[in-house]
Amino acid sequence: MRIIKKSKEINSLFNSIRRTGFVPTMGSLHKGHESLIKKSIKQNNITFVSIFINPKQFTNKNDLINYPRRLNDDIKICKKLKVDYLFLPSFKEVYSWKMKMKKYPKIKSIMEHKYRKGHFNGVLKVIEKLSDIIPANKMYLGEKDFQQLKIIEDYFHLNKINTKIIKCKIIRDKNGLALSSRNKLLAKKDLLKAARIINFIKKNILKKKPLNDKIKIVKKYLKDSKINFDYVKNINIKNFEIEKKKTKYSRFFIAFYIKNIRLIDNI
């Protein structure tokens, strides 16, 4: 595995290689990231992974300060998986990259955009840079951050970027909780508490009741458990509108807090 820190160096590689996959991350890698990397390695000749904690997508300074950083462990994971190139740029290296202006898609004020103003603009700014520095054939993104994935898809489509986005299923712990770097900030008992919430939602969805009743039941469960939450929504993943009934194109989306750590999921 080759570690690269300079944008021009990594960009120049594309003159000589074909069938490339790219997994952009903010580090603190877990089994979910590993599944993306393994899929890229299987489908491509060369796999690139980037680790860059993007300050522009954090709407809370403490969240940025406390974001888990485990670079030495991340490097070991990438080596073990036989990643070809690991890109470890500085802030200046990413944001000084010169490129033509791109168009940004309109973002609906729903869910993450409603509660984290400016977050997706920060995401698009870094994706704009990274996808130009690493113009891979395929980019691998997890469905846990589904709204983010949809917005990046819209950005690629709007700007006619040739990179194909490969959607990858959510990887969960054995207790049912979606894997996340932020999970590492929680104690085992808190992770079990978070898992109970997700499992309660899964069971509730299967009940033969009107959708509104199901949402009310989930919200009551959260309030009774003294769990703060931003939203519990049933969303059509095709058009990202609120769906009034559960269909094959809709998912339950939730954002909740355990010990001030914000977790998101969709089921």
d(CA 69, CA 64): 10
User: pTM for this one?
Assistant: 0.95
Give pLDDT tens digits for 68-82.
999 999 999 999 999
119 counts as catalytic = no
| Mean pLDDT for the chain overall | 95
Give pLDDT tens digits for 36-68.
999 999 999 999 999 999 999 999 999 999 999
99-111 as b/e: b if 16+ CB within 10 A: eeebebbebeebb
Selection from 130, 139, 167 nearest residue 10 by Cα:
130
Query: Is the confidence at residue 207, as pLDDT, over 90?
Result: no
Res. 262 pLDDT band, cuts 50 70 90:
very high
d(CA 206, CA 262): 26
Among candidate residues 33, 113, 119, 157, the one labeled active-site is 33
Give, rounded to a whole angstrom, the gap between the first and last alpha carbons of the chain.
36
Selection from 32, 17, 11 nearest residue 181 by Cα:
32
d(CA 60, CA 25): 19
Give pLDDT tens digits for 209-254.
899 999 999 999 999 999 999 999 999 999 899 998 888 899 999 9
Selection from 13, 229, 32 nearest residue 115 by Cα:
229
Helical spans, DSSP H, in the chain: 7-12, 31-43, 61-66, 71-81, 91-95, 112-115, 119-133, 146-158, 188-205, 211-224
Contacts of 267 (CB under 8 A, 6+ apart): 198, 201, 202, 205, 251, 252, 254
Indicate the Cα dihedral angle 225, 226, 228, 234, nearest 10°.
Answer: 30
Q: Which domains does the chain have, with CATH numbers?
A: 2-168 (3.40.50.620), 181-266 (3.30.1300.10)
